[in-house]
Copies of this chain bind each other. A is one copy, B any other.
Amino acid sequence: MAVCAFLSKRFPLVRGRFCSKAPGLARTVVRKLWCASSRSQLRGVEGNRGLTGKVDRFGGVTVDLTDTGLPEDISEGAFSGLLRESLVRWRAEGKVAVWLRVPISLSRCAAAASTHGFTFHHAKHDRAVLVLWLGEGESQLPGFATHQVGVAGAVVDESNGKVLVVQDRNKTTNAWKFPGGLSDPGENIGATAVREVFEETGVRSEFRSLLSVRQQHNHPGAFGMSDMYMICRLRPLTYDINFCTRECLRCEWLDLAELTRTSDTTPITARIARLLLHGLERGFGEIDLSMEEIPAIYSGRFYQLYHRQLPSLVTHI
């Protein structure tokens, strides 16, 4: 599930199972993230022989090779033997999955694990996580992040109906588009839009609303993953253009009506330009998705929710 109660990102997960209520799904299995409400639900440390792992409430075992006291120079063969012995025990105990957390310095253990069927789940910086499904049928374990998030900022000068657009330097065909770029990990989309607009154009602005969302799969430049592209409406705080010449060929305040008519733009920019022109003429309230801060139940933090701002919502808050 997307909204769940995991309190630790190191907690092993088992996502879903076959659901008897969905008999018509031939190839689509029911995949769910079973959420643990607390790390305290880890049932302790086990292991007399072989590797030592932590058992989670879903019947999975996690072994962190930094915690096992393995010699730094353990050979692939020695580790393979340890793992083989452990797997026999875990299978006998009915465990459904094994997670291996492998520091990059012990990567040879990943090679050894692959001979027992382990594959990479993900890897970041100096750590890889491998996984082996021991349960019935195909793996029901949750995958890793699937999307990158790109954000564009449409900075509209309401005083003269112009919008800030750029042309990339590195494209074979030049077309007007809104400045933007990839969201950094942990960065809110509004902050990405404001940052990217400033970095590309030198114009400072502030977030006003989310306008549009686009999902694209197998996105070029996303290492085979998907791309979620968000277009935000921004209000300019400064107007002088001082664009990044290494990235942009051109940068201008362009008349919105002209941007809706020109063929010298991308389909998505043309579509958003029409939205913006409508907003300029009839009020941005007709096109905006407003942002609200809402408290997260479990973490104590806040998140941002974007949707239509309605009069009835305002009175209910």
Contact = CB atoms under 8 A, between A and B. Distances in A.
Contacts of A268: 3, 294, 305
A203 to B, nearest CB: 11
Interface in A151-177: 151-152, 168, 170-172, 177
A202 B7 contact: no
B9 A224 contact: yes
Nearest to A267: B294
Contacts of A182: 1-2, 15, 31, 33, 142-143
A239 interface: no
A198 interface: yes
A104 interface: yes
Contact of A303 (B142, B216, B297): B216
Contacts of A267: 294-295, 297
B199 A247 contact: no
Contact of A9 (B126, B218, B310): B218
A289 interface: yes
A69 interface: no
Interface of A: 1-9, 11, 13, 15, 17, 19-22, 25, 28, 30-35, 37, 76, 104-111, 114-115, 118-129, 142-152, 168, 170-172, 177, 180-186, 188-189, 195, 198-199, 202, 210-218, 220-230, 242-247, 266-268, 271-272, 274-275, 277-278, 286-287, 289, 292, 294-299, 301, 303-308, 310, 312-313, 316
Given A25-B199, A271-B307, 15 more contacts: A2-B180, A5-B221, A19-B244, A22-B198, A35-B170, A35-B171, A107-B110, A120-B127, A145-B147, A147-B228, A212-B307, A216-B303, A274-B313, A278-B310, A287-B307
30 contacts: A2-B180, A3-B150, A3-B266, A6-B220, A22-B244, A31-B181, A31-B184, A37-B172, A104-B120, A105-B111, A105-B114, A120-B127, A120-B128, A123-B123, A124-B144, A129-B223, A144-B148, A144-B223, A145-B225, A149-B226, A212-B305, A218-B299, A267-B295, A271-B294, A271-B307, A272-B307, A274-B310, A277-B312, A278-B312, A287-B310
